[in-house]
Copies of this chain bind each other. A is one copy, B any other.
Amino acid sequence: MDVRDYIDSNAREFFDQLKSWLAIPSISADPGHHGDVRASAEWLAGHLAGTGFPTVEIWDTGPAGSPGQPAVFACWPAQDPGAPTVLVYGHHDVQPVEPLEEWHSPPFEPAERDGQILGRGASDDKGQVLLHTLGLRACLAAGGQTSAPPVSLKFLIEGEEESGSPHFADLLRSRADRLSCDMIVVSDTTMWAADVPSMCTGMRGLIDAQIDLRGPDTDVHSGSFGGGVPNPLHAMAALLAGLHDHEGRVTLPGFYDAVLPLTSAERELFARLPFDEKAWLADAGSSQAAAGEAGFSTLERVWARPTAEINGMWGGHTGPGSKTIVPSQAHAKVSFRLVAHQEPADIAVALREYVAAHTPPGIEATVTFGGPGVRPAFSPLHSPGVQAAKRAMERAFGREVLFTREGGSGPEADLEEILAAPLVFVAVGLDEDRIHAPNEKVEMTLLLRGAEAVAYLWADLAADRAGITAAR
């Protein structure tokens, strides 16, 4: 039986299994649902054992006094000990569901409608995790055997991704031996469109900070003192306005030093995507694209260029009416989206330098970072793993596969860094899947195509083992 036939004849069972799992409200951000997160981990562990994985474990996370949510680890060695090892990453926790009244069917009573499964987690990320077991079974069936996959497979499906993966890096470090691999397949992103299959090749990193400026000890009367004492709101406006030059480039010292330039191949491939800027702006509710960094298209800016954004600012009188004061304080929250190979720690240093250099006499500045930040993740187009996945996706979809990136951040860079293996993004979600919003859905046929793609991928990697292991 070939891969596609196997998948088609097992599709009904697969969807029913997914719906059972989606019925478990594994909301990691809600302490009231932590029991459900564990139930979700147990469901998945049972399912993986049923699929044939000889090793399945539930891994607790977090320190003893303040435990986190459990991850599921599974391992199935290839019969051939020389075959490459692939780690599959995904997550089994889901986003909260508020506002509940906007759901057309209850978020944890999965519904099937018009070729879609509706429910929280259908696309992000339970559907995309589960396609791997269907794909693996198809691969095994097509290979005519069930005793072992063509590559050694490890699954690490975490339970805290929607809460910012607070214990994930620690987990990776403490279990690095058991997680060692030649390549990491991440199935938690999106394709360009149902009829434009694509693979993500990078995710932006992030660092965020609060800037506090202090001038006079208290708000003072602008009639008596205006023009004579420094106004922290003026200083903040100037400091924030100066974050960009007239070409929209970020002015932090050395900000672009580590930025990997877009290759002409990447730019060409991005340009081939059927990008409807008007529709994209309508999604953002914006009437016009930003002037933005000169010399780059909107997609390039959002995916492959670092940014500085002011996320909030406040100070002085913000209530009704006027109050003619020189305010005592000004505050701003800023964040920087980073691209490979910018290091959050370097950008933090640069921000501190910038603020120090732009704080006028009579104003005191402090910069407080929200955390260590998130490293950008990067998956080079021409790596053997990406090329193998592209071939597998193209065979499943019957079309050329293009490349995208994502503007946001997950724990992917930690995987790449700590496990020292390259990332390959294989996913079949869509931007219109309403992840994190009411009425999340997944396209059922895309899940099947995804399962097909990974079935081809494992076989391909086993055949091309030299390429994969040499690339490390």
Contact = CB atoms under 8 A, between A and B. Distances in A.
Interface of A: 204, 206, 208, 210, 215-218, 220-231, 233-234, 236-238, 240-244, 280-281, 284-293, 298, 301-302, 305, 307, 309-318, 321-328, 330-333, 335, 337, 360-362, 364, 370, 406-409
A206 B220 CA distance: 16
A310 B289 CA distance: 28
Given A284-B228, A288-B230, A290-B362, A407 B315 contact: no
A368 to B, nearest CB: 10
26 contacts: A206-B223, A221-B408, A222-B309, A223-B409, A224-B302, A226-B302, A226-B309, A227-B309, A228-B301, A230-B286, A230-B289, A231-B310, A234-B240, A236-B237, A241-B242, A284-B326, A288-B362, A311-B323, A311-B327, A312-B325, A313-B315, A313-B330, A316-B333, A321-B370, A323-B333, A324-B408
Smallest CB-CB A-B distances: 8 pairs: A223-B408, A217-B285, A288-B362, A312-B316, A241-B241, A237-B240, A312-B317, A233-B310
B237 A302 contact: no
B302 A327 contact: no
A75 to B, nearest CB: 32
Nearest to A288: B362
Contacts of A307: 222, 226-227
Contacts of A331: 318
A311 B222 contact: yes
Contacts of A323: 311-312, 333
Contacts of A217: 285-286
B281 A224 contact: no
Given A226-B302, A286-B216, A309 B231 contact: yes
Contact of A218 (B238, B285, B409): B285
A290 B290 CA distance: 34
A312 B286 contact: no
Nearest to A369: B322
Contacts of A223: 204, 206, 337, 406-409
Contact of A311 (B210, B285, B288, B317): B317
Q: Tell which of A229, A325, A335, A370 has the most Cβ of chain B within 10 Å.
A: A229
Given A229-B290, A316-B333, 18 more contacts: A216-B286, A218-B285, A223-B407, A227-B293, A228-B289, A228-B302, A230-B291, A233-B240, A234-B241, A284-B326, A290-B360, A290-B362, A309-B324, A312-B317, A313-B316, A314-B314, A314-B318, A322-B335
Contacts of A225: 284, 286, 302, 407
A290 B230 contact: yes
A229 B305 contact: no
A229 B314 contact: no
Given A286-B230, A289-B362, A406-B223, A325 B311 contact: yes
